[in-house]
Amino acid sequence: MRRFIVVLAFASFCQFSCGGSTSDNAQKTSLTELPADPKAKGGNTCLLGYANKLDQLLTLQMAADFAGLPAGSAEIKYFNSMKNTDNHDVKYSWKSDRKRNMKDVGVDMVVPVDNMVQLNGIKERSFESFKMTHRAPTDNELKQADQAMDEALDKKSGNKKVNEQVEKLDEMKVDKNTQKSVVKGMGGVFAKVARAYREVQGIGDAASWNAVERRLYVVDNGVEISVSVDLSDDDAVNEQKAVVLMKQLLAKCK
């Protein structure tokens, strides 16, 4: 349980310390690719309207037809218990004979893998913020993030929010050795996920595929939408399928 708590805190560290300034993080984008207002968000009100009814945007039948699998044998999980719809998701999955080694996420074991299609939370997001967030960080940025986390655990961080996360761990009586050992172990995992972003052309205002998450992120008129697709052991196949599915979803709001 304590390990889980520290992992959550590590994720918070990344949120508050892994990003540099706007000017440092901005992707090089030609003026012809920029929307009229890169800082505007929430313009696609049609997409936002599905934020609390994801299963109506990506229906069971649509997911089954897309996956080429029977709707009747799908397992449906709609996580919508949290008040903030940003954290909602609807997942359709089917049993398969595939297996995967989980070393990529820090666990040395082979586990069965379901075929899966998932629509994640829809949220307001500006083009500028999207380009800063869904990109591979530089080696220097990852180094700075590691340093920021070390400073935070030693209570030397100048970031108030990061310090608050450490104080929560202290209040839970999670000792420093546990904090540091878990953060060190998880650091490589989070870095691998962060490095796995690559830009995808020809969909929305901007798009990025994360190969570790098997997830396609898109921003369209100030709204972020993402789908997770795991139907193959070939990353390129999952990415291609995710693009096809995303275009179908976006077409509902054209």
- For residue 232, the number of C-alpha atoms closer than 13 Å in the C-beta half-sphere is 12
pLDDT band of 187, cuts 50, 70, 90? low
End-to-end Cα separation, the chain, in angstroms: 46
The rounded distance, in Å, linking the Cα atoms of 200 and 207 is 5
The tokens describing 53, both together, are 């009814």
pLDDT tens for each residue of 115-147: 999 999 999 999 999 999 898 887 787 777 777
pLDDT band of 185, cuts 50, 70, 90? low
**Which span out of 100-104, 153-157, 163-167, 173-177 was modeled with the highest average pLDDT?**
100-104
Average pLDDT of the residues of the chain: 82
pLDDT tens for each residue of 56-94: 999 999 999 999 999 999 999 999 999 999 999 999 999
The tokens describing 151, both together, are 């400073």
Give whole-number Cα distances, 140 to 27, 107, 132, 137, 145, in Å: 16, 27, 15, 8, 9
Q: Which residues contact 8 (CB under 8 A, 6 or more apart)?
A: none
Q: Which residues contact 167 (CB under 8 A, 6 or more apart)?
A: none
Q: Which residues pair with 219 in a beta bridge?
A: 206, 224
Flag whether pLDDT at 176 surpasses 90: no
Please tell me the predicted confidence (pLDDT) of residue 13. Answer: 52
Q: Which residues contact 15 (CB under 8 A, 6 or more apart)?
A: none
pLDDT tens for each residue of 27-38: 444 333 567 788
Please tell me the predicted confidence (pLDDT) of residue 251. Answer: 98
Torsion of Cα atoms, 208 then 240 then 74 then 78, to 10° = 10
Q: Which residues contact 126 (CB under 8 A, 6 or more apart)?
A: 38, 39, 40, 41, 219, 222
Nearest alpha-carbon partner for 116 in 66, 80, 79, 81? 66
Give whole-number Cα distances, 223 to 3, 83, 199, 207, 249, in Å: 34, 19, 17, 12, 13
Please tell me the predicted confidence (pLDDT) of residue 95. Answer: 97
pLDDT band of 180, cuts 50, 70, 90? low
Flag whether pLDDT at 26 surpasses 50: no
Domain chopping of the chain, boundaries: 2-251
Phi, then psi, of 76 in degrees rounded to 5 = -110, 125
Please tell me the predicted confidence (pLDDT) of residue 179. Answer: 62
Q: DSSP character for 215? A: E
The tokens describing 238, both together, are 């999952």
pTM given for the model: 0.77
Flag whether pLDDT at 237 surpasses 60: yes
